[in-house]
Amino acid sequence: MAFSVCLVLFLALPLKHGLGLFINSSSSNSSNNSELLAILNATNLSVDLLLRIDVMTGENASLTTTETPLSLESIIRAEINRDWERGRLVLDLASMVRTVQLKHAIYEALWLELQQMQQIYNPLKLLDFYTELEQLSDVPPPLLEKVYQALVQSSAQLLSAPFHASSQCAIFPLVTQLLQRLTLSTLDYLKDILEALFNVILALESNLGVVQRLGSFSDNLTQLTQANLQLQQRPELQLDEQAHRALVQNLRTLLEQSTFIEEVEYALQQQVYAQLPEADRILYTAQKVCLRNVSDAYGYIYECPQTYLICTNAHDPRKASYNLQRGHGGLNNSLQFAFYSSYWNNHYIFLEPSNHTAPNAIIKNIYSRDAINWWYAVIQEDGTSVALFDAATNSSVLCGGDQQYWDTGEEHVYTRNAEEFANYRRECVWRIEDCSYIEK
Ligand SMILES: *[C@@H]1O[C@H](CO)[C@@H](O)[C@H](O)[C@H]1NC(C)=O
Ligand SMILES: *[C@@H]1O[C@H](CO)[C@@H](O)[C@H](O)[C@H]1NC(C)=O
Ligand SMILES: *[C@@H]1O[C@H](CO)[C@@H](O)[C@H](O)[C@H]1NC(C)=O
Ligand SMILES: *[C@@H]1O[C@H](CO)[C@@H](O)[C@H](O)[C@H]1NC(C)=O
Ligand SMILES: *[C@@H]1O[C@H](CO)[C@@H](O)[C@H](O)[C@H]1NC(C)=O
Ligand SMILES: *[C@@H]1O[C@H](CO)[C@@H](O)[C@H](O)[C@H]1NC(C)=O
Ligand SMILES: *[C@@H]1O[C@H](CO)[C@@H](O)[C@H](O)[C@H]1NC(C)=O
Ligand SMILES: *[C@@H]1O[C@H](CO)[C@@H](O)[C@H](O)[C@H]1NC(C)=O
Ligand SMILES: *[C@@H]1O[C@H](CO)[C@@H](O)[C@H](O)[C@H]1NC(C)=O
Ligand SMILES: *[C@@H]1O[C@H](CO)[C@@H](O)[C@H](O)[C@H]1NC(C)=O
Ligand SMILES: *[C@@H]1O[C@H](CO)[C@@H](O)[C@H](O)[C@H]1NC(C)=O
C-alpha cells in the first residue's frame, strides 16, 4: 500500500530540468503552458526502476540516489498556488504528458491538492472537478469514484442546512446555487445526493418535518418531484402515516403547478401518478370520467330525463361519461376542472351562480349548458372519491340524494353552502371513475 502510494506520488525530477524556470513562471502570473508541460514531461516516474530496487534488494524505494526527488504534489501545489482555477490548466496539460502513469499521477496529485485546500467541503468545486475528470478518457475509475463520493457527501451536507432551520422561508444562497448547478448535470447525481441527504436528516429531524420542508426544497419542478418520490420510498416513512399523508399532499401540490406537464419528463410524471390514490390518477390523467353516488350504483350524474337540470340516473356509460377539461384559475390560480359531454350536445355541468343565504338550505342550480363552468376537486381520504366546489367563489358544493328535492320523476342534484360540507359529507361526495374507454 505504502509502496503504491509512493509510486504514484513521487517522481524523480532532475533539478537540472529547470525548476527555477517553473517557479518563476508560476509566481509571475504568466504561467506558460508549454513551460509547465516541459516540466511535467521532465518528471520521471521511474516505475521500472522502483520495482527493480524493491524486488532485487528488498530496499524501500528511494529516489535520493543521484538526484533530489520532488513530489509531483509539490510541483502542482506551487503551480496552483492556492488558486484552484489554475488546477484546470494542469488538468488540461495532463492530457499531453508523456506517459499514462504520469497522467494518473497528475490526476491523483490534483485531487490531493483539492483536499489540502479544504475544497473537499465545497460541492460546487467538486462538481466542477468531477465533471472535468469525467470528460477525460483515462482517469482511473477508483479515483473517479472517490471524487464522486466526496461530491455526493459534501452536497448532502450543504443541502441539509435548510432542514435544520426553524423558518421554512429562510434563504440559503449556496443551496440555491448548488441546486441550480445540478440542473445542468444528469439526474443521477441528484438521486445519489438525495439518498445521502435523507440518511443525514432523517436521523436528526422528524419524518413529518422533513416532508414539510421538502415541499419547498427547490424551485425546479423536476428536482422537487424527484426528491419527493425518493423520500416516499424511504423505509423510515413506510409506517409513518402522518408523514405519508403530508407527502401525498406535496405530490398533489406539484401536480397542480401549471407547468408540471411541460417541465417534468413523462416517465417521472408517471411515477408520481403511480404513487397517488386512484382518484388523483383519474383526475390528472383520464380523458373521460363518470361521477356517481359512492354507495349507489344507480346514481350517475347526467342530464335529467325531461329538463335541462342535472340528475342522478341509472348507469348508462355513454350518457354518464364526461370529458374532463383541466385548467388553472379561480381564487388561487389553482388547478380546476370542467366536465363536458359530447353525448349531451357538448354541454357542461353548469352552476348558475347564487348565494346560499339560509343555513342548511339547498339550491337547485345545476344545469346542462353549453357554457363552461369550472370546479375544484377535493380528493377524499378514501382515495376514490371527490367533493366538487365551484371554482369561481368556492362557496358552493355539489350534492345529491335527498329525495325531498326530487320531483316529476327526476332525481335532481343541487348545491349546498361549501361551509356546511362537513355536515353533509354523505350527500356531497362522489365516486370518480375512469370512463376514458367509452367512445362517444
Ligand atoms: C523570471 O523571469 C524574469 C522575466 O520574466 C527573468 O528576468 C528572471 O531572470 C526569471 N528568474 C528566474 C529565477 O529564472
Ligand atoms: C493574471 O493574468 C490575468 C491575465 O492573463 C489577469 O486577468 C489576472 O488578474 C492576473 N492575476 C494576478 C493575480 O495578477
Ligand atoms: C512560452 O515558452 C515557450 C518556450 O518555453 C516560448 O517559446 C513561448 O514564447 C512562451 N510563451 C509566452 C507567452 O511566454
Ligand atoms: C511532452 O510529451 C509529449 C508526449 O511525448 C509530447 O507530445 C510533447 O511535445 C512534450 N512536450 C514538451 C513541452 O516537452
Ligand atoms: C525516465 O527514466 C528512464 C529509465 O527508467 C529513462 O530511460 C528515461 O530517459 C527517463 N526520462 C526522462 C525524461 O528523464
Ligand atoms: C521501509 O519503510 C518502512 C516505513 O517507511 C519501514 O518500516 C521499513 O523498515 C523499511 N524497510 C526497509 C527494508 O528499509
Ligand atoms: C430543472 O432541472 C432539470 C434537470 O434536473 C433541467 O433539465 C431543467 O432544465 C430544469 N428546469 C428549469 C426551469 O430550470
Ligand atoms: C388561497 O389563498 C388565500 C389567500 O391568498 C389563502 O388564505 C387560502 O388558504 C388559499 N387556499 C388554498 C386552498 O390554497
Ligand atoms: C351574492 O352576494 C354577493 C354579496 O354578498 C353579491 O355581490 C352577489 O351579487 C350575490 N350573487 C348572487 C348571484 O346573488
Ligand atoms: C347517495 O345515495 C344515498 C342513499 O340513496 C344518499 O343518502 C346520498 O345522499 C347519496 N349521495 C349523493 C352524493 O348522491
Ligand atoms: C374551498 O372550500 C373548502 C370548504 O370550505 C375548503 O376546504 C377549501 O380549502 C377551499 N378551497 C380554496 C381554494 O379556497
Domain borders along the chain are: 1-155, 160-276, 286-434
**Ligand 3, closest atom to CA 30?**
14
Separation of 95 CA from ligand 3 center, angstroms? 19
* Per-residue pLDDT reduced to its tens digit, 237-261: 999 999 999 999 999 999 989 899 8
pLDDT greater than 50 at residue 15: no
Share of the chain above pLDDT 90, in %: 62
More confident residue, 413 or 261: 413
Residue nearest to atom 5 of ligand 10 (CA): 401
Tell me which residues have their CB closer than 6 angstroms to ligand 5.
42, 44, 46, 48-49
Residue nearest to atom 10 of ligand 5 (CA): 44
Q: Three-state DSSP class for 344? A: coil
**Ligand 11, closest atom to CA 330?**
13
Global pTM? 0.72
Nearest CA to 261 out of 279, 244, 273 is that of 273
Separation of 289 CA from ligand 5 center, angstroms? 79
Q: What pLDDT does 33 receive? A: 64
Q: Which sign, positive or negative, has the C-alpha torsion 285, 288, 292, 298?
A: negative
Average of per-residue pLDDT values in the chain: 84
* Domain 286-434: assigned CATH number: 2.80.10.50
Residue nearest to atom 2 of ligand 5 (CA): 46
Separation of 416 CA from ligand 11 center, angstroms? 14
Separation of 141 CA from ligand 6 center, angstroms? 30
Separation of 44 CA from ligand 5 center, angstroms? 6
Ligand 1 binding pocket includes 21 (Cβ within 6 Å): yes
Separation of 18 CA from ligand 10 center, angstroms? 94
Ligand 10 binding pocket includes 385 (Cβ within 6 Å): no
- Which residue stretches of 121-277 are H helix? 123-135, 141-159, 161-164, 173-182, 187-204, 207-214, 221-233, 235-238, 241-255, 260-263, 266-275
Ligand 1 binding pocket includes 222 (Cβ within 6 Å): no
Nearest CA to 377 out of 317, 415, 429, 321 is that of 429
Gap between the Cα atoms of 134 and 205, Å rounded = 35
Gap between the Cα atoms of 103 and 99, Å rounded = 6
Ligand nearest to C-alpha 355: 9
**What are phi and psi for residue 288, nearest 5 degrees?**
-130, 145
Q: What's the mean pLDDT in 179-208?
A: 96
More confident residue, 355 or 99: 355
